[in-house]
Amino acid sequence: MSDPTSNDNAARVQEGWVRAPLARFLTSNVEFVDVDPEQTYPTVGVLNRGRGLLYREPVAGSSTSYKKLNRIGPGVLVYSRLKAFEGAITITPDDLPESFASQEFPTFAFAPDADPDFFRILTTTQSMWDALQGASKGMGGRRERVKPTDFLNIVMDIPPLRVQKRIVEVIGAVDDQIAALNTESEALEAILDSLRSDLPETDHQPISDVLLGIDNGKSVQAAGEATAEDEYRILKSSAVQRGWFKPSEAKSLTEDATFSPSHLVKDGDLLITRANTPERVGFVAIAKNVPEGTVLNDMMWRLRVDESRVSTGYLEHALSSRELRTRISGTSGGTSKSMVTINKRGFGAVRVPVPPLPEQGEYVWRCGAVVGGITAIRAEEARLCNVRAGLLSGLLDRSIDIESAEQGV
């Protein structure tokens, strides 16, 4: 009996596909420059899960301990040796201005039969992230690294150049639709920001006057991303955005813990991040679609609202306004520039406008109408992202024919 795997590999070779190490398509092109104390260097990093470059603040040569930096050019593959296991890999844009990075960011040029745009798409796939994770070596955690030689030894199925370009066209058409939706969503978010900042003109009162209390979160040991099978999960700080709640931003719990009812999150709870970066501290959102067994982490509070004085929906939008966001963040403090906290006394003293309930309802209705539009666009964008992922996976494993995919886009 013939081996189906061998037959499949033979078919790929016949059609021009090759199963080969990345060294077949990439070559190292690291260009080190000596650091000049008199110069300033614009620097970049790499975001995880193939999300592109991270543009950092320029670094003065006199303030860095690095003796050499790697010049990052346009149209090259770059990854983070230290965070490769998180999928920190991308292709630099063709219009990238002069940029630099540490030696932790090796770069590679492409062979003539390798399309950079195809490899840019490849860096967004789970198969690439899994391969990088498998190539990571070290003492564990943040000490793991992927050496350039190990990276080039990663074996993947790569189509011929003509098919690479056709895959880029098909996926690019979907990406254009996603980008258009994202642009539309951003425009509505700007309108929402303006509506939220148009606060009712009325007397301001300390927020403590309209709260019944503030519940603390729970500090417990967490593991990886939460799944549907987890009995208990704990929210990450990223679950609370500025007026938006993301229940999927949670981790599974790795230890047995005793929870009081105040630690469990339920639909309708008004949550606030009490500790975060200066840009994200004090974010407020109403919890929605919360899975059972979801625990509030110790970087958050639950605000128990006196509904006879103010509606929860009103506070969500009002506290997300530019004016009140500034007041809340102004009460934060800490010894680290990257992590600040707000305390209950300072937060409770923040003064908020408290109009009559009917006027609050009108304010919420105006904001809510735009929220509905944003929610619908985000849902369509998420659907298209899932379509893209399935389409790309099918094109790369040959379960979807490229001609059929082109007709369907």
Domains 4-158 and 204-354 belong to one CATH topology: yes
Nearest to 237 by CA among 284, 287, 271, 273: 273
Domain-wise residue ranges, the chain: 4-158, 161-202+355-409, 204-354
Q: Give me the CATH code for the 204-354 domain, please.
A: 3.90.220.20
- The class of domain 4-158 in CATH terms is alpha beta
> Which tokens go with 219?
């500090």
Query: Please, what is the Cα angle at 266 between 263 and 270, to 5 degrees?
Result: 85
Q: What is the pLDDT of residue 13?
A: 45
Task: Decide if domain 161-202+355-409 falls under CATH 1.10.287.
Answer: yes
pTM: 0.78
Distances (CA, A) of 243 to 169, 238, 248, 286, 316: 36, 12, 16, 7, 6
| Number of neighbouring beta carbons within 10 Å of residue 179 | 12
> Which tokens go with 79?
């990854």
Helix (H) or strand (E) holding 393: helix 357-396
Give one DSSP letter per residue of 150-174, joined into a string.
Answer: HHHT-EEEE--HHHHHHHHHHHHHH
On the CB side of 43, CA atoms within 13 Å amount to 21
Give one DSSP letter per residue of 350-384, joined into a string.
Answer: -EEE---HHHHHHHHHHHHHHHHHHHHHHHHHHHH
pLDDT tens across the length of the chain (409 residues): 445 554 454 444 447 899 999 999 999 999 999 999 999 999 999 999 899 999 998 999 999 889 999 999 999 999 999 889 889 999 999 999 999 999 999 999 999 999 999 999 999 999 999 999 999 887 654 567 899 999 999 999 999 999 999 999 999 999 999 999 999 999 999 999 999 999 999 999 999 999 999 999 888 777 777 777 777 888 888 889 889 999 888 888 766 667 777 888 999 999 999 988 888 889 999 999 999 888 899 899 999 999 999 999 999 999 999 999 999 988 888 766 678 899 999 999 999 999 999 999 999 999 999 999 999 999 999 999 999 999 999 999 988 887 666 665 5
R_g of the chain computed on alpha carbons: 25
Q: What is the pLDDT of residue 78?
A: 97
Q: What is the 3-state secondary structure (H, E, C) of 92-105?
A: CCCCCCCEEECCCC
**Nearest-angstrom CA–CA distance, 177 and 171:** 10
Contact 222, 191 (CB under 8 A): no
